[in-house]
């Protein structure tokens, strides 16, 4: 397979003449390159870029495979950003990344908002302020709020596109973000948060979830249509052919009857190779929105479960994206749910040991709670050591709160 890459280049050079690029000195040099697979891959990629033909040979499966690096991740950075009372935005510094191949993954938020529950009082949305900083924003600034996220820079040659956008659901039940066309089989969405001006504690129906409505549209939907600013932030993540073991799946289901949870059936995947993309929550209930949020879990090779804190007849709509990577790129996946003790503001959940924190994507998949205030019903998470996932909330509360995360470890 590696030799195919060289022979294709040799053929191109033979047909079209040697371009003005670094030459391969002699046959011995080519042999040495073939003995070093990683060096050869990078050299071939550089040659094609300079020839203006990178991607032109993507139809050749052998070349596509050899151009994908053995390690999919270039860097992983966990970021925690504080928004003190009165501040609607703040930035967190990161090591420089190329934003066009870097995805943001939400890790939850906490707020000291006492007895309040309105969406706007604690929700945090993330975006890139630049290649060296992440911006956290919110719509209501009354409380002290902290938001966590993971910044994942994929290695060159892994992603086909990473696109971001926002849409305001002011007075609407749905809104769209237009993106450049993606290949549906290789793409999924990530919700990067909601910046909302909703201040009512009760019937604001502000929960949003997102999905690819078409190859050029990310759609966000909620059950209500309050006429105030309610902006969702979204990411479209698309991989090149050959990274995934199977086509991405949009696990989507709406509840029927009086239920606490609902299941979405998916085509069989290998759990140790499968990462979920968090797409938010949606619920038609008009009670406290904190009671209506649902956790997302992969419970078997063919099932995604969405769970809220209590049984209800209000329609709950669950959406998640399923990314199954090829086995050579994955070291394992740990699906974790932490149950909060009544006196805890920090909960440490043991995970299966990973080789290195910076080789993992620790995805937050929501908190479900019977608590009614932001201070004890919402949590943010972070992977603090190779064996521990830390979960934090602003205040203690009865032990009826659960937080679900997933640790996807890459080689």
Domain boundaries, the chain: 2-67, 73-410
pLDDT at residue 66, rounded to an integer: 58
How far from 277 is each of 24, 36, 255, 263, CA to CA, in Å?
Answer: 43, 35, 20, 16
Q: Determine the distance from the C-alpha atom of residue 2 to the mean position of all C-alpha atoms in its chain, rounded to a whole number.
A: 32
Can you tell me the distance from the alpha carbon of 361 to that of 357, in angstroms, rounded to the nearest whole number?
Answer: 8
> Is residue 380 within 8 Å of 107, Cβ to Cβ?
yes
Question: Which letter does DSSP use for residue 155 in this model?
Answer: P
pLDDT at residue 200, rounded to an integer: 75
Q: At what angle do helices 2-16 and 27-35 cross, to 10 degrees?
A: 150
Lookup result for tokens 């038609």: 284
pLDDT at residue 201, rounded to an integer: 64
Dihedral of the alpha carbons of 368, 374, 376, 381, in degrees to the nearest 10? 70
340-345: long-range contacts (C-beta < 8 A, 24 or more apart)?
340/379, 340/391, 340/393, 340/397, 340/399, 340/401, 340/402, 340/403, 341/399, 342/396, 342/397, 342/398, 342/399, 343/396, 344/393, 344/396, 345/392, 345/393, 345/394, 345/395, 345/396
Report, as ranges of residue numbers, the positions in the chain whose pLDDT lies below 70. 1-66, 201-205
């Amino acid at each position: 397979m590696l030799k195919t890459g060289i022979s294709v280049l040799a053929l191109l050079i033979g047909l079209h003449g040697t371009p003005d690029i670094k030459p391969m000195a002699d046959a011995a040099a080519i042999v040495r390159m073939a003995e070093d697979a990683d060096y050869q891959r990078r050299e071939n990629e550089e040659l094609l870029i300079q020839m203006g033909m990178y991607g032109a040979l993507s139809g050749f499966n052998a070349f596509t495979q050899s151009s994908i690096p053995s390690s999919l991740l270039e860097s992983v950075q966990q970021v925690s950003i504080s928004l003190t009372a009165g501040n609607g935005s703040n930035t967190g510094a990161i090591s420089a990344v190329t934003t066009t191949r870097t995805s943001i993954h939400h890790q939850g938020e906490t707020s000291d908002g006492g007895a309040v529950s309105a969406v706007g009082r604690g929700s945090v949305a993330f975006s890139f302020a630049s290649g060296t900083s992440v911006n956290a924003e919110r719509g209501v600034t009354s409380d002290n709020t902290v938001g966590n996220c993971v910044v994942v820079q994929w290695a060159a040659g892994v992603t086909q596109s990473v696109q971001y956008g926002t849409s305001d659901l002011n007075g609407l039940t749905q809104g769209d973000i237009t993106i450049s066309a993606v290949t549906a089989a290789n793409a999924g969405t990530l919700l990067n948060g909601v910046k909302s001006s909703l201040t009512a504690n009760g019937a604001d129906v502000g929960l949003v979830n997102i999905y690819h409505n078409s190859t050029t549209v990310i759609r966000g939907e909620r059950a209500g249509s309050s006429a105030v600013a309610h902006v969702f932030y979204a990411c479209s993540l698309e991989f090149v052919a050959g990274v995934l073991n199977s086509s991405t799946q949009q696990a989507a289901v709406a509840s029927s009857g009086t239920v606490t949870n609902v299941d979405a059936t998916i085509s069989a995947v290998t759990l140790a190779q499968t990462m979920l993309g968090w797409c938010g929550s949606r619920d038609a209930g008009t009670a406290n929105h904190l009671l209506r949020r649902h956790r997302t879990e992969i419970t078997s090779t063919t099932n995604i479960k969405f769970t809220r804190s209590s049984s209800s007849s209000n329609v709950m709509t669950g959406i998640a994206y399923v990314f199954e990577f090829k086995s050579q790129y994955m070291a394992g996946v740990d699906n974790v749910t932490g149950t909060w003790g009544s006196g805890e503001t920090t909960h440490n959940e043991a995970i299966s040991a990973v080789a290195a924190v910076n080789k993992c994507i620790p995805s937050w998949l929501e908190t479900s709670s019977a608590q009614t205030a932001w201070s004890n019903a919402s949590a943010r998470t972070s992977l603090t050591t190779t064996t521990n996932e830390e979960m934090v909330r602003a205040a203690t509360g009865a032990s009826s709160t659960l937080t679900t995360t997933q640790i996807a470890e890459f080689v």
